[in-house]
């Protein structure tokens, strides 16, 4: 029986390049910072690899990031704007595209995170690094698609002469909340998908239902207060409403629900990390 | 066969790597659920002016009229009403960030009480599972959640601070203890009175040393200042001024009171199971608190879901932790019983949300929202208890119950929902308004679905 080891067994795991973090409270802040720097670099590299492999052998390449939101907006715009006559204060196509752009960033992030652990079994078997880096990189890689979708949205805003406000500068702040929320859900589903592969299929369904319970395609302003409150209790619903408000109305129409979104985002992010941490030791056994 | 070179992480370091995410996720679970419920209640016009509205008005009054501002809710100085000197400090951020900030701050500070419970439990070598359960017991205590859900109360923030100071006193850490005690004096008269109990705890633990003298001195000095300079009714919060013992009986109060007695039941149950009884000396403090609570001459304070009940919880838990360490470990069935009780209480609270004896949900929330948008904020506005919190951070809001029929300021607006009858507004006021609507003495600014906005000439 041949036994090969690329790392000496005597070597402490903590001395290894991407080993566990130095213990907090020991005063070793410089080492901790270095370690976090290395993990951040690994996350960035994995995110870049993710984008490259996705578009490498396709004919349209990165243009797919533009085609997808355009087709979706065209279909939904026709169905809800032309057939069902859903009205909004701004041109319905712009209203719709805004919702779709931010919603897709969430959906794509979650769906990429689902298979991020189970799809990298070979990498996990080779070297230790914090496994949480994988779903993080998957979610962050979706920024490229989001960026192109945002460009499409800006073009449509100009085509339809829709007035926008300076408060749009708040978008990055709201987006940070959305990223943390997406990461939280991403950690949950990535860890659970290692144990139960049904999670991948299930998430597709859940996200579809979730979309209809979020104000992606319809405005909440005309709804009954009780129904509107329930829809805005959904953190994604509240985040989407805030994103539209800062761009098109110049103020938050339902500021109280921003606090709900903040509270749920903090909880989902921490619960995601917590569950991931619990399941992480099982990854090696299950895969 | 080739062995994997996968390097197993040192599991003891994983906690540091994830910066205690499990504990913080529990804390934020509480914050998320409670803030959502608070805002849902607010949006359905269930929040009350005498709770949330009073604090909104007080904060706005300080920003616009300085610390000597008079209250439009109660006669007299705003600060003197409850003696909470921390309130003016949050006036500016609250008026800028809005009502949601008050909700989030209250829930987050309350949830932080979980940390000292786990710390105390760890210090007393209670098993991690028990510590977690006691922490959840604290978070789900109906006494806390009822006070927290019922809008906003500055005195609620005293519960976690009491827990922090108890933990500091037990660890003999003077400065954190003193800081916690000073903070406690800023949260209203009931918190200061709880501080007296805390000083008693310190004396129990350390004897009459400078440490204890300092604690006692801080509390007594502040009570003296409140009584003599701000006119706060200090003694009204204690007990038995006219020996008027009143019990508020209902299924709800029964269930909530059960929660108060549950730690004692737990103690008896554990003693029974282990065939030995350990009487923790710390039960005396919640007993004193319970006596002050039940024998108060103030009807609101005798109800088990009043915000002052929340101050009993830290003392109850302290005794419960002390008991737990003498009966370790608990059997699995004990854990199960407590978990079922916790889930059951959540059910009771959810039920209470829809069928509250004290809070009636108005049917025409949409009309009320439209009416509120027709109100001019620079005039004096009279409104019913449940509408007041929707007028935002304004110093001009006055409860309808304080409408002086002989003298209504010119240009004042009255927002009246004819289908809603709050317990706080006298029938004479409603009769007067009904006559006023049919006379030509007022201008009707808005009228939909029985909701009026009237303006005096």
User: Is B252 exposed, middle or buried, given 0-12, 13-18 or 19+ CB atoms closer than 10 A?
Assistant: buried
Q: What is the pLDDT of residues B192-213, one digit of tens each?
A: 777 777 777 777 766 656 766 7
For residue B294, name the pLDDT band (cuts at 50, 70, 90). low
- pLDDT for A144 equals 83
B250-255: average pLDDT:
57
Q: Which of A58-62, A140-144, B226-230, B428-432 has the lowest mean pLDDT?
A: B226-230
**CA-CA distance, B405 to A222, in Å (whole number)?**
38
When comparing pLDDT for B66 and B377, which is higher? B66
- pLDDT for A44 equals 85
When comparing pLDDT for B414 and B393, which is higher? B414
**Which residues from chain A sit within 8 angstroms of residue B14, using beta carbons?**
20, 277, 280
- pLDDT for B330 equals 66
Q: Report DSSP state, residue B71.
A: P
* Nearest residue in A to B22, CA atom: A274
- pLDDT for B8 equals 44
When comparing pLDDT for B137 and A173, which is higher? A173
CA angle, B317 then B318 then B321, to 5°: 80
A225-245: average pLDDT:
91
Inform me whether the C-beta atom of residue B369 falls under 8 Å from chain A C-beta atoms.
yes
Which residues 106-145 of A are in CB contact (within 8 Å) with B?
124-128, 130
Which candidate, A214, A212, A188, places its Cα nearest to that of A202? A188
- pLDDT for B403 equals 83
**CA-CA distance, B414 to B422, in Å (whole number)?**
15
Contacts of B198 (CB under 8 A, 6+ apart): B162, B165, B166, B169, B181, B184, B215, B219
Q: Which of A183-192, B134-143, B285-294, B302-311 has the lowest mean pLDDT?
A: B302-311
When comparing pLDDT for B105 and A65, which is higher? B105
- pLDDT for B260 equals 66
- Residue A6 above 70 pLDDT? no
Inform me whether the C-beta atom of residue A277 falls under 8 Å from chain B C-beta atoms.
yes
Taking the domains of chain A in order of start, what are their residue ranges?
A: 60-286
Which residue bears the tokens 């749920």?
A264
- Residue B248 above 90 pLDDT? no
Q: What is the pLDDT of residues A168-181, one digit of tens each?
A: 999 999 999 999 99
- Residue B336 above 80 pLDDT? no
Residue pair B107/B148 in contact (Cβ under 8 Å)? The answer is yes
Q: Which of A55-59, A229-233, B173-177, B434-438 has the lowest mean pLDDT?
A: A55-59
Q: Which of A18-32, B67-81, B266-280, B348-362 has the lowest mean pLDDT?
A: A18-32
> Which of B110-119, B290-299, B322-331, B432-441 ranks highest by mean pLDDT?
B110-119
Answer whether B42 sits within 8 Å of A21, measured CB to CB.
no
Q: Which of A1, A20, A277 to mutate to test the interface with B (most CBs of B within 10 A)?
A: A20
- Residue B238 above 60 pLDDT? no
**CA-CA distance, B320 to B171, in Å (whole number)?**
18
When comparing pLDDT for A248 and B41, which is higher? A248
A271-281: average pLDDT:
89
- Residue A215 above 80 pLDDT? yes
Residue B146: both structure tokens together: 């009822």
B102-118: average pLDDT:
91
* Nearest residue in B to A231, CA atom: B40
- Residue B18 above 60 pLDDT? no
Residue pair A98/A243 in contact (Cβ under 8 Å)? The answer is yes
Query: What are residue A11's phi and psi, to 5 degrees?
Result: -70, 135
Q: Which of B11-15, B316-320, B398-402 has the lowest mean pLDDT?
A: B11-15
- pLDDT for B292 equals 65
* Nearest residue in A to B103, CA atom: A259
For residue B14, name the pLDDT band (cuts at 50, 70, 90). very low
Answer whether B36 sits within 8 Å of A264, measured CB to CB.
yes
Q: What is the pLDDT of residues A183-192, one digit of tens each?
A: 999 999 999 9
Inform me whether the C-beta atom of residue B250 falls under 8 Å from chain A C-beta atoms.
no
**Which residues from chain A sit within 8 angstroms of residue B152, using beta carbons?**
none
A149-161: average pLDDT:
87
**CA-CA distance, A174 to B395, in Å (whole number)?**
31
Inform me whether the C-beta atom of residue A262 falls under 8 Å from chain B C-beta atoms.
yes
- pLDDT for B161 equals 92
Q: What is the pLDDT of residues A84-128, one digit of tens each?
A: 776 677 888 888 889 999 999 999 999 999 988 888 877 777 777
Answer whether B99 sits within 8 Å of A6, measured CB to CB.
no
- pLDDT for B5 equals 41
Q: Which of A259, A273, A276 to mutate to test the interface with B (most CBs of B within 10 A)?
A: A259
> Which of A21-25, A36-40, A59-63, A269-273 ranks highest by mean pLDDT?
A269-273
For residue B56, name the pLDDT band (cuts at 50, 70, 90). confident
For residue A227, name the pLDDT band (cuts at 50, 70, 90). confident
- pLDDT for B257 equals 62
Which residues 207-236 of A are in CB contact (within 8 Å) with B?
224-226, 228-230, 233
Q: Between β-strands B413-417 and B451-455, what pairing exists: parallel, antiparallel or unpaired?
A: antiparallel
- Chain B: give the shortest CA distance to residue A267, in Å: 5
B79-105: average pLDDT:
83
B244-255: average pLDDT:
53
Which residues are B381's β-sheet partners?
B397, B413
Q: Which of A240-249, B76-85, B96-105 has the lowest mean pLDDT?
A: B76-85
> What's the ipTM?
0.81
- Residue B94 above 50 pLDDT? yes
B80-109: average pLDDT:
84
Q: Which of A227-236, B226-235, B357-366 has the lowest mean pLDDT?
A: B226-235
Neighbours of A162 (CB within 10 A): 17
- pLDDT for B357 equals 56
- pLDDT for B19 equals 57
Prior bond to B329 cis, omega within 30? yes
What percent of chain B shows pLDDT beyond 70?
A: 75
Q: Which of B326-335, B405-414, B417-426 has the lowest mean pLDDT?
A: B326-335
- pLDDT for B293 equals 64
**CA-CA distance, B115 to B163, in Å (whole number)?**
9
- pLDDT for B366 equals 84
**CA-CA distance, B323 to B281, in Å (whole number)?**
10
Answer whether B3 sits within 8 Å of A5, measured CB to CB.
yes
CA-to-CA separations, A211 to A104, A184, A214, A231, B266, in angstroms, rounded: 10, 18, 5, 11, 46
- pLDDT for A30 equals 74
- pLDDT for A203 equals 92
For residue B113, name the pLDDT band (cuts at 50, 70, 90). very high
Q: Between helices A225-233 and B21-43, what is the axis angle to 10°?
A: 170
- pLDDT for A234 equals 93
Segments in B140-209 forming alpha helices (H): 142-149, 158-170, 174-185, 189-206
B77-96: average pLDDT:
79
Cβ-nearest to B25 among A2, A14, A274: A274
Inform me whether the C-beta atom of residue B31 falls under 8 Å from chain A C-beta atoms.
yes
Cβ-nearest to A7 among B5, B13, B29: B5
Average model confidence (pLDDT) across chain A: 82
Answer whether B22 sits within 8 Å of A229, measured CB to CB.
no
**Which residues from chain B sit within 8 angstroms of residue A10, using beta carbons?**
none
Q: Which of B8, B15, B25, B41 to mutate to test the interface with A (most CBs of A within 10 A)?
A: B25
How large is the C-alpha radius of gyration of chain B?
A: 24
What percent of chain A shows pLDDT beyond 90?
A: 35
CA-to-CA separations, A272 to A136, A138, A206, in angstroms, rounded: 11, 15, 17
When comparing pLDDT for A117 and B361, which is higher? A117
């Amino acid at each position: 029986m041949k036994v090969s080891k690329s790392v000496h067994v005597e070597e402490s795991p903590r001395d290894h390049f991407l080993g566990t973090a130095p213990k907090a409270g020991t005063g070793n802040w410089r080492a901790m910072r270095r370690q976090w720097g290395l993990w951040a670099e690994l996350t960035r590299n994995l995110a870049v690899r993710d984008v490259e492999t996705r578009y490498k052998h396709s004919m349209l390449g990165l243009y797919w990031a533009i085609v997808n939101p355009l087709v979706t907006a065209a279909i939904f715009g026709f169905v809800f704007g032309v057939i069902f006559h859903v009205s909004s204060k701004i041109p319905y196509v712009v209203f719709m595209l805004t919702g779709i752009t931010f919603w897709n960033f969430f959906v794509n992030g979650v769906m990429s995170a689902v298979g991020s652990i189970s799809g990298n079994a070979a990498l996990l078997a080779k070297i230790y690094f914090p496994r949480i880096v994988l779903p993080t990189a998957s979610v962050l890689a979706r920024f490229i698609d989001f960026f192109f979708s945002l460009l499409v949205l800006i073009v449509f805003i100009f085509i339809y002469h829709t007035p926008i406000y300076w408060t749009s500068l708040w978008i990055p702040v709201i987006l940070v909340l959305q990223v943390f929320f997406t990461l939280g859900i991403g950690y949950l589903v990535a860890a659970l998908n290692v144990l139960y592969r049904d999670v991948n299929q299930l998430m597709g369904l859940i996200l579809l239902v979730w979309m209809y319970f979020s104000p992606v395609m319809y405005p909440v302003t005309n709804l009954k207060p009780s129904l509107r409150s329930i829809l805005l209790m959904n953190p994604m619903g509240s985040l989407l409403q805030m994103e539209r408000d800062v761009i098109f109305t110049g103020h938050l129409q339902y500021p109280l629900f921003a606090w709900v979104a903040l509270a749920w985002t903090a909880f989902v992010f921490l619960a995601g990390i917590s569950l991931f941490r619990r399941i992480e030791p099982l990854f090696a056994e299950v895969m | 066969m080739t062995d994997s070179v996968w390097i197993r992480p040192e599991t003891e370091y994983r906690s540091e790597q994830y910066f205690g995410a499990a504990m913080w996720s529990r804390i934020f679970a509480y914050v998320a659920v409670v803030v959502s419920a608070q805002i849902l209640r607010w949006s359905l016009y269930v929040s009350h002016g005498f709770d949330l509205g009073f604090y909104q008005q007080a904060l706005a009054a300080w920003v616009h009229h300085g610390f000597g501002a008079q209250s439009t809710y109660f006669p007299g100085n705003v600060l003197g009403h409850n003696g909470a000197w921390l309130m003016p400090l949050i006036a500016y951020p609250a008026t800028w960030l809005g009502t949601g900030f008050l909700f989030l701050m209250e829930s987050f500070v309350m949830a932080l009480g979980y940390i000292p419970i786990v710390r105390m439990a760890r210090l007393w070598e209670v098993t991690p599972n028990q510590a977690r359960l006691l922490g959840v017991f604290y978070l789900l205590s109906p006494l806390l959640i009822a006070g927290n859900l019922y809008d906003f109360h500055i005195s609620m923030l005293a519960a976690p601070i009491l827990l922090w100071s108890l933990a500091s006193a037990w660890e003999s850490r003077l400065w954190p203890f003193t800081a916690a005690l000073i903070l406690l004096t800023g949260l209203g008269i009931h918190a200061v009175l709880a501080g007296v109990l805390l000083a008693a705890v310190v004396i129990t633990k350390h004897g009459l040393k400078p440490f204890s003298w300092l604690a006692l001195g801080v509390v007594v000095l502040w009570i003296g200042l409140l009584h003599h300079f701000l006119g706060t009714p200090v003694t009204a919060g204690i007990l038995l001024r006219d020996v008027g013992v009143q019990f508020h009986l209902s299924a709800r109060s029964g269930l909530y009171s059960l929660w108060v007695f549950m730690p004692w039941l737990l103690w008896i149950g554990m003693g029974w199971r282990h065939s030995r009884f350990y009487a923790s000396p710390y039960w005396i403090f919640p007993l004193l608190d319970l006596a002050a609570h039940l024998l108060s001459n103030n009807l609101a304070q005798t109800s088990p879901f009043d915000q002052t009940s929340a101050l009993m919880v830290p003392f109850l838990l302290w005794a419960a932790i002390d008991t737990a360490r003498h009966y370790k470990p608990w059997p699995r069935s004990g854990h199960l019983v407590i978990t079922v009780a916790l889930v059951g209480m959540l059910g009771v609270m959810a039920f209470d949300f829809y069928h509250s004896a004290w809070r009636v949900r108005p049917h025409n929330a949409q009309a009320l929202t439209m009416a509120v948008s027709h109100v001019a904020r620079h005039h004096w506005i009279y409104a019913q208890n449940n509408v007041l919190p929707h007028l935002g951070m304004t110093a001009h809001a006055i409860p309808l119950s304080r409408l002086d029929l002989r003298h209504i300021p010119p240009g004042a607006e009255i927002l009246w929902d004819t289908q809603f009858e709050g317990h706080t507004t006298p029938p004479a006021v409603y009769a007067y308004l009904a006559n006023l609507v049919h006379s030509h003495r007022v201008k009707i600014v808005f009228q939909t679905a029985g909701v009026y906005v009237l303006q005096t000439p």
